[in-house]
Amino acid sequence: MTENTLAAITADARRARAALLAGHTGERRDLPLRYWRQQVHFTTPASGTPAKALTALRAVPRLLERLDLSVEAVAEHLGVEPAPLASVLDGDGRPPAVLLDAEDAVADTAEAARQARSGAAACFADADWGHTLRLFRPAGLALDGCIDDLTHVLTAVATHPTAAFPIDAIMWPKVEHADEIAWVSGLLARLEDHLGLASGSIRLQFLVESARAVQCLPELAEAAGTRLSGIVWGIADYSADIGLPQIRNDHPACDWARCALINTAGACGVPAIDSMTLNYPTPLHRGQGLSADQRAQNRAKVLAALAQVYQDARHGIDLGMSGKWVGHPLQAWLVLAAYRTALAPEQLDRDLADIEAYRRAVAGGSGAAIIGEGMNAYMADRASDRHVRARLRRAAAWGLLDPARALALGLITPQERAQL
């Protein structure tokens, strides 16, 4: 083989490699960092007073007092330190993401649909959302109102003077086919053009609630394209679809479906959001003049429900979920606490130390090194460093890591720091 032949082979291989890299890069969504702030999806009916959901966490102290409970009592029942639970309540009371629901939470009547559209449009346009992600769930494909839900709400909010379009993403329910997602994406594209919005301004998430949807997850995600900003798991309809005798959070079939969803979300670079815990922390007995036994039963029932949602959240975190769907302020509180305990300050300190230790090892010429101390020592290389950095990047998105520190470590960009 001559040098000219080898040079030609090398040049062809380099061109082919560049083409492969360019094609593969598009498979992962370039998702703005703020879309990773979906630890809690607080769902509220679009009709009524949906703006209350924007400060749902402010209701927690009042609800606890009504039940003769305290942060310390709940923490003791869960077997955790009270500090993470208390720290969640130190903020402005806003959940990371609020979903205005015009689907399951709305009666299937023309008047109920009208009220939901009107309530959603007013809340998106007029309420103070702060940094909360703004999500809207219209009726699904099988319901006649699905198109009107989108066209009415999106055009209505566009007429209000705001700095940015006040809806971040559409949550499409009960999806089963890729052509359905393509149809929704096409409708959003036409509405964006009609409203003078940049292409792709309105992101898209979809709700996986059936066996067919789980089976078609890669195709569904591909059909969503660069609009995709999350995939959400719905356990109740899925359990009915495959004939489970009960809705059980840790059923092997449900965990298998979760893992499929998590893998697809990971392949696309978007958050995977876990299902709702259906056991709401609501009292058994209501009204004035409850007996001591009735108040004790209320506390026991609520504590059991809080333990369940906390355990469900930790179960999802261990599998790789990035958030959880909730429908009650106390659920939102406990899920946020679960995510804080998953990235506790001591874990962040270890991660930061490990990044620095690996950086020093690389600077010294090592591709791999043993870092950490004592029982926590492990072999670090590019793969393990990437894992630690991914965890810290998520911590920055969640407000648990100083943005300046995250920027200095190369975990976020200057534009992302401005978002935080």
pLDDT tens profile 345-358 = 888 998 998 888 88
Share of the chain above pLDDT 70, in %: 98
> What sign has the CA pseudo-torsion 168, 174, 178, 184?
negative
pLDDT for residue 26: 57
- pLDDT-derived band at 261, boundaries 50, 70, 90: very high
CA–CA separation, 222 and 216 (whole Å): 10
Q: Decide if pLDDT at 374 tops 90.
A: no
Residue in 173, 188, 177 with CA at minimum distance from that of residue 105:
173
User: Does the domain formed by 33-342 have CATH 3.40.50.170?
Assistant: no
Strands 228-233 and 272-274: parallel
- Give me the mean pLDDT over the 367-394 stretch: 85
Q: Which amino acid is at 363?
A: A
- pLDDT-derived band at 259, boundaries 50, 70, 90: very high
- For tokens 């810290």, the residue is 392
pLDDT for residue 161: 61
pLDDT for residue 163: 65
Q: Decide if pLDDT at 50 tops 70.
A: yes
CA–CA separation, 227 and 189 (whole Å): 10
- Give me the mean pLDDT over the 55-73 stretch: 96
- pLDDT-derived band at 332, boundaries 50, 70, 90: very high
pLDDT for residue 27: 60
Q: Decide if pLDDT at 2 tops 90.
A: no
Q: Which residues contact 322 (CB under 8 A, 6 or more apart)?
A: 36, 38, 39, 265, 271, 272, 273, 394
Within 13 Å, how many C-alpha atoms sit on residue 209's CB side?
15
Least confident residue range of 52-56, 181-185, 371-375: 371-375
Longest dimension (CA), the chain: 97
Beta bridge partners of 100: 44, 136
pLDDT for residue 262: 98
CA–CA separation, 14 and 95 (whole Å): 48
CA–CA separation, 220 and 218 (whole Å): 5
Rounded to 5°, angle at Cα 324 from 162 and 47 = 50
Q: What does the block give as tokens for 249?
A: 């959070």
Please answer whether residues 299 and 74 qualify as being in contact, where contact means their C-beta atoms are separated by less than 8 angstroms: no
- Give me the mean pLDDT over the 189-204 stretch: 94
CA–CA separation, 43 and 103 (whole Å): 11
**Residue 346 per-residue DSSP state:** H
23-37, 207-221, 372-386, range with greatest mean pLDDT: 207-221
Q: Decide if pLDDT at 379 tops 90.
A: no
Cβ neighbourhood burial of 63 (10 Å; 0-12, 13-18, 19+): middle
The alpha-carbon radius of gyration of the chain (Å, integer) is 24
Please answer whether residues 381 and 367 qualify as being in contact, where contact means their C-beta atoms are separated by less than 8 angstroms: yes
Least confident residue range of 99-103, 311-315, 371-375, 384-388: 371-375
pLDDT for residue 41: 95
Domain ranges in the chain? 33-342, 345-419
Average pLDDT over all residues of the chain: 92
pLDDT for residue 238: 96
- pLDDT-derived band at 160, boundaries 50, 70, 90: low
What's the pTM value of the predicted model, to 2 decimals? 0.91
Cβ neighbourhood burial of 173 (10 Å; 0-12, 13-18, 19+): buried
pLDDT for residue 75: 97
Q: Which residues contact 189 (CB under 8 A, 6 or more apart)?
A: 199
- pLDDT-derived band at 224, boundaries 50, 70, 90: very high
**Residue 410 per-residue DSSP state:** T
- Give me the mean pLDDT over the 266-281 stretch: 96
Q: Decide if pLDDT at 249 tops 90.
A: yes
